[in-house]
């Protein structure tokens, strides 16, 4: 009787180690691919969110700029001629020009009393306020304040119970003073983040970002004249903590200006260019919060928009005056 022996073949130790090594490498490649895909999707998601946020903020700023009001002095020549003619009777001299002596004798004054204004050398909405003599627009490269005319909404007339006393109480009005500026991350005594108040674990309620302050013009003037600047600086809404910087440029018809005051120029700018800067999504997805706060302007993503002001008219220059005079 003969027995056949069947050889049993098994894996050697070297083959097992090679298999395990290849499995580790394969799992590492798969994990890297998943991580790359997750980071790429996060960057794309942040890119879409930033684009939508920039579009919403630009639309809000455009609506406010297009509603900016600038009062033009009333032409009282017709009324002066009518009053002088009624006082002088059939006198030709009185009918032609009207004498100021007759008007003053009748107790009628045609001169408008100037409104007291606060002298401000620079516009710094984070530590002060600029009050224009007449409603208009004032701004520099990083801040802007404008007076706009807009009918109040119906819900603004409803009395709301507000227990907070840190900010000024607004009243329904058709003449508002709106300001835009960026609050720094390390600011104190500024606008409080309303979303941070909802977090019970939040220790710091102050946050940087774009601030919009909308108040009745009379309330703004009263707060500025009465020295209530600290309360005024705490009034407003933190619109977007994602916005790290904002810039404004003002078109006068020939060049872009970095500063504008309707009291000095006499008119509104023909157009305003708005630029907002947010952190590049590629860096925001890979860097931590401390590193993001120290990033320079080269690592920011910019959004630009130009808004035309309907109430603006071209500013008359000396050359235009000379050409009209025939010189």
Q: What is the pLDDT of residue 115?
A: 42
Higher model confidence: residue 172 or residue 309?
Answer: 309
Give 192-243 as a DSSP string.
BPHHHHT-TT----B--EEEEEEEEHHHHHHHHHTT-HHHHHT-SEEEETTE
Model confidence band, residue 98 (pLDDT cutoffs 50, 70, 90)? very low
* Tokens read off for 193: 């983040």
Burial of 293 (0-12, 13-18, 19+ CB in 10 A): middle
- pLDDT of residue 110 exceeding 50, the answer is no
* 3-class SS of residue 22: helix
Give the pLDDT of residue 224: 78
Query: Do 217 and 146 contact (CB within 8 A), yes or no?
Result: no
Q: Cα separation of 63 and 186, whole Å?
A: 30
The pLDDT value recorded for residue 145 is 92
Report the DSSP pairing between strands 300-308 and 256-257: unpaired
pLDDT of residue 63: 93
Q: What CA–CA distance (Å, rounded) separates 324 from 327?
A: 8
What pLDDT band is residue 304 in, cutting at 50, 70 and 90? very high
Domain boundaries, the chain: 41-74+117-324
Structure tokens at 81: 């001629």
Q: What backbone phi and psi angles, to 5 degrees, belong to 212?
A: -120, 125
Indicate the average pLDDT of the chain. 76
Q: Which residue has the higher pLDDT, 14 or 109?
A: 14
pLDDT band for position 31 (cuts 50, 70, 90): confident
Confidence band, pLDDT 50/70/90 cuts, at residue 113: very low
- The pTM assigned to this predicted structure is 0.70
Question: How far apart are the C-alpha atoms of 300 and 157, rounded to whole Å?
Answer: 41
Mapped onto helix, strand or coil, the DSSP state of residue 19 is: helix
- Whether the predicted pLDDT of 77 surpasses 80: no
Residue 260 — very low, low, confident or very high, per pLDDT cuts 50/70/90? very high
Condensed to tens digits (0 to 9), the pLDDT of residues 166-209 reads 556 667 778 889 999 998 877 777 787 777 666 656 656 667 88
Among 48-52, 101-105, 137-141, name the one with the lowest average pLDDT: 101-105
Residue whose C-alpha is closest to residue 310's, from 282, 268, 279, 277? 268
pLDDT of residue 275: 95
Beta-carbon contacts of residue 127 (< 8 Å; ≥ 6 apart):
229, 233
Q: What is the pLDDT of residue 184?
A: 82
pLDDT of residue 306: 94
Please give the average per-residue pLDDT across 7-12, as a whole number. Answer: 70
Query: DSSP characters for 152-179?
Result: PPGGGGS-------SSPPP---SEEEEE
Beta bridge partners of 212: 180, 237
Predicted pLDDT of residue 95:
44
State residue 103's pLDDT score.
46
């Amino acid at each position: 009787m003969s027995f056949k022996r069947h050889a049993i073949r098994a894996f050697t130790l070297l083959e097992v180690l090679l298999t395990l090594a290849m499995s580790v490498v394969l799992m590492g490649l798969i994990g890297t691919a998943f991580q790359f895909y997750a980071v790429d999707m996060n960057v794309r998601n942040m890119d879409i969110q930033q684009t939508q946020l920039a579009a919403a903020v630009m639309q809000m700023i455009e609506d406010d700029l297009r509603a900016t009001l600038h009062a033009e002095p009333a032409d009282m020549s017709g009324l002066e001629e009518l009053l002088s003619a009624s006082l002088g009777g059939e006198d030709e001299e009185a009918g032609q020009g009207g004498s100021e002596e007759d008007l003053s004798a009748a107790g009628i004054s045609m001169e408008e009393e100037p409104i007291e204004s606060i002298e401000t050398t620079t516009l710094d909405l984070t530590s002060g306020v600029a009050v224009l003599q007449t409603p208009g627009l004032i701004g520099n490269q990083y801040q802007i304040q404008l007076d706009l005319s807009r009918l109040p909404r119906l819900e603004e007339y409803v009395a709301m119970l507000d227990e907070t006393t840190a900010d000024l109480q607004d009243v329904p009005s058709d003449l508002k003073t709106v300001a835009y500026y960026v609050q720094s991350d390390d600011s104190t005594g500024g606008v409080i983040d309303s979303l941070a108040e909802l977090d019970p674990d939040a220790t710091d309620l102050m946050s940087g970002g774009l601030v919009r302050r909308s108040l009745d013009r009379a309330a703004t003037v009263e707060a500025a004249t009465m020295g209530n600047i600290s309360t005024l600086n705490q009034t407003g809404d933190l619109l977007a903590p994602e916005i790290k910087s904002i810039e404004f440029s003002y078109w006068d018809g020939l060049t872009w200006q970095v500063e504008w005051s309707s009291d000095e120029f006499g008119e509104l700018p023909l157009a305003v260019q708005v630029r907002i800067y947010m952190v590049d999504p590629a860096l925001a997805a890979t860097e931590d919060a401390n590193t993001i706060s120290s990033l320079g302007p080269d690592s920011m993503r910019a959004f630009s928009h130009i808004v035309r002001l309907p109430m603006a008219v071209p500013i008359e220059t000396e050359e235009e005056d000379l050409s009209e005079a025939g010189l």
